[in-house]
Amino acid sequence: MASIEQPQIYLITPPEIELSKFPDQLARVLDSTEIACVRLALSTRDEDRISRAADVVRETCHARDVAIVISEHLVLAERLGLDGVHLTDGSRLVRKTRKDLGDDAIVGAFCAASRHDGMTAGEMGADYVAFGPVGTTPLGDGSVAEHDLFEWWSQMIEVPVVAEGALNTDIIRALSPVTDFFGIGDEIWNNEDPVAKLTELRTAF
């Protein structure tokens, strides 16, 4: 898999979404370009709020044949008719999640900058592994998923890889040859016009 086609976009929702506005925003983004998958990644732990958000996001995505996964909430993924789950603690729960959700569900694992964790997640049945942040950010512990990690992964490992966290056009340009997906979220939602920002980032693919 060393010769990767152009990377695809893996869209990540903002941590807080306003139900009156976000579905329209999301629809515009989904209609503007091809999106491989959407991750519902809310900061709230309130089940009711997550469920309401998941319903509107799922409708918007499924109307366009775009898969939707949810961060962490295994039980809700099934109950709300979502396509799978994105695990945020590396490979720890991959095997159990795969068993619980079955072969058809999408199971992804965020493995920070750990090559070992990524390989373990892949061996346990993850559909993709995400590494990040790829840029410097005040969040997290200051570690960055370096270019070498993606380069090694794209040459050695079959499991698709997502680059995410603090992306900009320079990082995207550098990582494009060695990643399958770019996990794009706050990079566009913090903008007046998410579609225009996404188009700008795409030029670096």
Burial of residue 59, with CB atoms counted within 10 A of its CB: 0-12 exposed, 13-18 middle, 19 or more buried: middle
Distance, in Å, from the CA atom of 100 to the CA atom of 17, rounded to the nearest integer, reads: 28
Domain ranges of the chain: 8-202
CB burial string 83-103: b at 16+ within 10 A, e below? bbbbbbebbebbbebbeebee
Q: Could you report the per-residue pLDDT of 10-57, keeping only the tens digit for each?
A: 999 999 999 999 999 999 999 999 999 999 999 999 999 999 999 999
User: pTM higher than 0.85 for the full model?
Assistant: yes
Residue 196 has pLDDT above 80, yes or no: yes
Distance, in Å, from the CA atom of 108 to the CA atom of 90, rounded to the nearest integer, reads: 9
Q: Could you report the per-residue pLDDT of 164-188, keeping only the tens digit for each?
A: 999 999 999 999 999 999 999 999 9
Distance, in Å, from the CA atom of 53 to the CA atom of 73, rounded to the nearest integer, reads: 13
Single-letter amino acid, residue 121: A
Statement: 8-202 belongs to CATH 3.40.50.2300 = no
